[in-house]
Amino acid sequence: MKVLVAVKRVIDYNVKIRVKPDNSDVDLTNVKMAMNPFCEIAVEEAVRLKERGVATEVVAVTVGPKAAQEQLRTALALGADRAIHIQTDERVESLGAAKALARVVEEEQPGLTILGKQAIDSDNNQTGQMLAALTGRPQGTFASEVVIENDKARVTREIDGGLQTVELALPAIVTTDLRLNEPRYAKLPDIMKAKKKPLSVKTPEELGVEVASRLTLVKVEPPAERQGGVKVGSVDELVDKLKNEAKVIS
Amino acid sequence: MSILVLAEHHDGQLAGATAHVVAAARAIQQDSGGDIDVLVAGENVGAIADAAARLDGVSRVRVADAAVYAHQLAEPLGELLVALADDYGHVLAAATTTGKNVMPRLAALKDVAQLSEIIAVESADTFQRPIYAGNAIATVQSDDALKVITVRATAFDAVAETGSASVEAVDTVVDNALSSFVGEELAASDRPELGAAKVVISGGRGMGSGDNFKLLDGIADKLGAAIGASRAAVDAGFVPNDMQVGQTGKIVAPELYIAVGISGAIQHLAGMKDSKVIVAINKDEEAPIFQVADYGLVADLFEALPELESKL
């Protein structure tokens, strides 16, 4: 079974966000970029499926600017066999990404496609579900466990208040939640080897899809600053303030 | 054009989030006009439909009651929404795991963008939503004929329950050969779920060990709080990852957030700084957490926690 894993290049999760002075967007100039954390979990899951002999080939794919090839190389260093880059400088949102990925799914016919449940930049949590709808495949979103048996995927999902298990007919789409696995770090020899693994580049035009965003980004602002608070001298004072000033406990 | 709200329900009860989503729908209605309908989809959902009919501002409750909609699996529910969407200019759902699961399917099948987790309505086509885990607020405008939206329930005040909408059956029954429900394991703990709790108490690396997280139990019991953790505490192996509050964990916005032994790394702040009241307990008075805390207590947590528990 072939496994397709989609990754996104995003701002590193430890970097403090700065909004541009003209409020047009978040400033990404000279900011450290990395693979989206949920995508790391997706790559790890795909690689583990291969290590267990369930997957025969792991193909990593991304939609984004030229620089996103760094994240494909990371996926290759972590164990993906080859990579596909849908190269575009457009501001791509979920629908455009899902359309491009749907074409890749048509061409590659993976038994399982794994994506992160959301990217930590746009926080949309849409692409996997949209890809499932566009390809007519079932979805197991927010997965904390994936078991492949015969021609089915049994996916345990993190839902509000607990876990839900669903059975999906393969081919299927899975999106990852935090508990699915703990991603490994790439080892130096693997990083060197990854440079020689195949990486093919396509454009949205070649795939016949329109990826530009339909939504107009009117403005981006920093959130309201939190007022710095007060220091209390004792537990008694804290309890008193919470009861009588903030009125959040009784 | 009218507005459709997908009702959220669990265990035969209408979930509280629905009243908040109807409030967002009313804000849109002020600009767009039209009626507000609520869709209740599930199996044996008559009582839920009656509860939805009492929500203020709702004109009509549409009920799709069939076995295929039990457990609200995304594939059949998405298809049902697609079948109904042509009557509407907006379709809204709560940004819960149910809403997040199904709404992008509707959007993709109607070839429109989705607006995720809106926190404010500026007009019928322009909305505010947090991006970068709430570290920036984007104002976005959609020109699509159909607006598919998920709503952060805590950002809108619930409508009252004094209405009396009509209740009508929807005959559309779809097939689902793609997915099936196997089982559910809902948290048996008396503690509320992190994302929904009114009070959250979280421990950081300062807790020192997983065992020491027990110090939070008594306080959590007294306050009806959920227990969370910083990524540092998770990475140190103290507690499992599902307790993580932060940009790579759960985003919470309770009435009261108590951060214990948490320094306040950016990635943690991103997950909790929309909390109404923040308390920080840390022995390092220079810790960045104090810059966002309403009440800071510089103290050794191993002394402060037992004392706090005894005085609540």
What tens digit of pLDDT does each residue of A196-231 get? 999 999 999 999 999 988 899 999 999 887 877 899
Which tokens go with A135? 């390809």
Please tell me the number of Cα atoms within 13 Å of B173 on its side-chain side.
Answer: 8
Question: Biggest alpha carbon distance in chain A?
Answer: 68
B236 inside 8 A of chain A by CB: no
B105/A165 touch (CB, cutoff 8 Å), yes or no: no
- The DSSP code for A19 is B
* Average pLDDT estimate for A183-203: 97
Please, which residues 181-210 of chain A have a Cβ atom closer than 8 Å to chain B?
182
Which residues of A90-232 form beta strands (DSSP E)? 112-116, 139-149, 152-159, 162-169, 172-176, 199-202, 215-221, 230-232
State how far the alpha carbon of A139 is from the alpha carbons of A57, A109, A142, B156, B191, in Å.
21, 16, 10, 30, 30
Which tokens go with A148? 């492949």
Q: Between B136, B295, B304, which is nearest A241 by CB?
A: B295
Size of interface A-B (CB pairs under 8 A): 259
* Average pLDDT estimate for B126-136: 93
Closest alpha carbon to A35 in A78, A3, A4, A2 = A78
Confidence of residue B265 (pLDDT cuts 50, 70, 90): very high
Q: Which residue ranges of B are tagged as binding site for FAD? A: 205, 230-231, 244-248, 261-268, 282
Q: Between A158, A178, A216, which is nearest B140 by CB?
A: A216
A14/B73 touch (CB, cutoff 8 Å), yes or no: no
Interface ipTM: 0.94
A180/A202 Cα distance (integer angstroms): 31
Question: Biggest alpha carbon distance in chain B?
Answer: 63
What tens digit of pLDDT does each residue of A123-172 get? 999 999 999 999 999 999 999 999 999 899 999 999 987 899 999 999 99
**Residue A13 CA from chain centroid, whole number:** 12
Q: Is A165 helix (H, G, I), strand (E, B) or coil?
A: strand
B279 in Cβ contact with B293 (< 8 Å): yes
| Residue A240 predicted with pLDDT over 70 | yes
What kind of fold does domain B194-311 have according to CATH? Rossmann fold (3.40.50)
Q: Show me where the domains of chain B are located.
A: 2-169, 194-311
* Average pLDDT estimate for B173-188: 91
Q: Between A125, A139, A168, which is nearest B116 by CB?
A: A125
Which are the contacts of A228, defined by CB distance < 8 A and separation ≥ 6? B290, B291, B292
A238/B279 touch (CB, cutoff 8 Å), yes or no: yes
Q: Is B55 helix (H, G, I), strand (E, B) or coil?
A: coil
| Residue B188 predicted with pLDDT over 70 | no
CA distance A184 to chain B (A): 13
Confidence of residue A79 (pLDDT cuts 50, 70, 90): very high
What tens digit of pLDDT does each residue of B234-248 get? 999 999 888 999 988
pLDDT of residue B78: 98
| Residue B274 predicted with pLDDT over 90 | no
A57 in Cβ contact with A3 (< 8 Å): yes
B113 inside 8 A of chain A by CB: yes
Please report residues of B whose CB lies closer than 8 A to that of A231.
Answer: 285, 290, 295-298
For the domain with range A2-225, which CATH number is right: 3.30.1330.60, 2.40.160.20, 3.40.50.620, 1.10.10.10? 3.40.50.620
For the domain with range B2-169, which CATH number is right: 3.20.20.70, 3.40.50.620, 3.40.30.10, 2.30.30.190? 3.40.50.620
B248/A217 touch (CB, cutoff 8 Å), yes or no: no
pLDDT of residue A161: 75
Q: Which residue ranges of B are tagged as binding site? A: 205, 230-231, 244-248, 261-268, 282
Residues in a beta bridge with B142: A215
What tens digit of pLDDT does each residue of A15-59 get? 989 999 999 999 999 999 999 999 999 999 999 999 999 999 999
Confidence of residue B192 (pLDDT cuts 50, 70, 90): confident
Alpha helices in chain A (DSSP H): 37-51, 69-78, 94-108, 127-135, 188-194, 204-207, 235-240
Bigger pLDDT: B189 or B28? B28
B157 inside 8 A of chain A by CB: no
Domains B2-169 and B194-311 share a fold: yes
> B32 exposed, middle or buried (CB, 10 Å; 0-12, 13-18, 19+)?
middle
pLDDT of residue B187: 67
Bigger pLDDT: B55 or B253? B55
Least confident of A2-6, B137-141, B187-191: B187-191
